[in-house]
Amino acid sequence: MTLEARKIRLVMELRQQGITDKTVLSALERIPREVFVPENFHDQAYENTALPIGHGQTISQPSVVAYMTQALELGRRMKVLEVGTGCGYQAAVLSRLCRRVYTIERHRELMREAEKRFQKMRIGNIVTRWGDGAKGWPEQAPFDRIIVTAAAEEVPQALKEQLADGGLLIAPVGRNTFDQVLIRLRRNGDEFESEELWPVRFVPLVGGTADEG
Residue 136 CB coordination number (10 Å): 25
How many Å apart are CA 63 and CA 71, to the nearest integer? Answer: 12
- Rounded to 10 degrees, what is the CA torsion of 147, 152, 154, 155? -20
Identified catalytic residue from 60, 63, 95, 194: 60
Give a three-class secondary structure readout of 13-77: HHHHCCCCCHHHHHHHHHCCHHHHCCHHHHHHCCCCCCEEEECCEEECCHHHHHHHHHHCCCCCC
Residues 6+ apart with CB under 8 A from 94: 27, 69, 72, 74, 80, 82, 101, 147
Amino acid at 148: V
Please state the length of the chain.
Answer: 213
Amino acid at 159: L
**Residue 26 appears among annotated catalytic residues:** no
How many Å apart are CA 131 and CA 102, to the nearest integer? Answer: 12
Q: What share of the chain is helix, strand, coil (3-state, %, to 5)?
A: 35, 30, 35
Catalytic residue ranges:
60
